[in-house]
């Protein structure tokens, strides 16, 4: 079977490089990265809410509360 042809995509390469830097900085700890991201957003005065708060605000069913997903709320 022939392997699909691939070609370098600089955007994808940059995304992978940034992801690798963040994984290294936070020792592959997604919770630590998420907490740092939320803290950064709060520092920029973004309103941060849970998926439940956001989904209730826009009258959508809650799909992420059980996973503790945090979303930015628009005002």
Q: How confident is the prediction along the chain (75 residues), in pLDDT tens digits per residue?
A: 677 777 889 999 999 999 999 999 999 999 999 899 989 988 999 887 766 665 555 554 454 454 455 555 555
pLDDT of residue 51: 63
pLDDT of residue 2: 75
Domain segments of the chain: what residues? 10-44, 47-75
Taken as a whole, the chain contains a residue count of: 75
- End-to-end C-alpha distance for the chain, whole angstroms: 53
Question: How far is residue 70 from each of residues 21, 48, 57, 64, 65, measured CA to CA in Å?
Answer: 22, 7, 14, 8, 8
Strands (DSSP E) contained in the chain are 48-50, 70-72
pLDDT of residue 66: 47
């Amino acid at each position: 079977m022939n392997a699909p042809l691939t070609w370098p995509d600089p955007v994808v390469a940059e995304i992978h490089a940034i992801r690798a830097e963040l994984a290294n900085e936070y020792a592959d700890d997604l919770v630590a990265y998420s907490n740092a991201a939320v803290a950064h957003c709060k520092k920029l005065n973004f309103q941060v809410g849970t998926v439940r708060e956001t989904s209730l605000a826009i009258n959508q069913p809650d799909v992420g509360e059980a996973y503790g997903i945090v979303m930015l709320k628009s005002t």
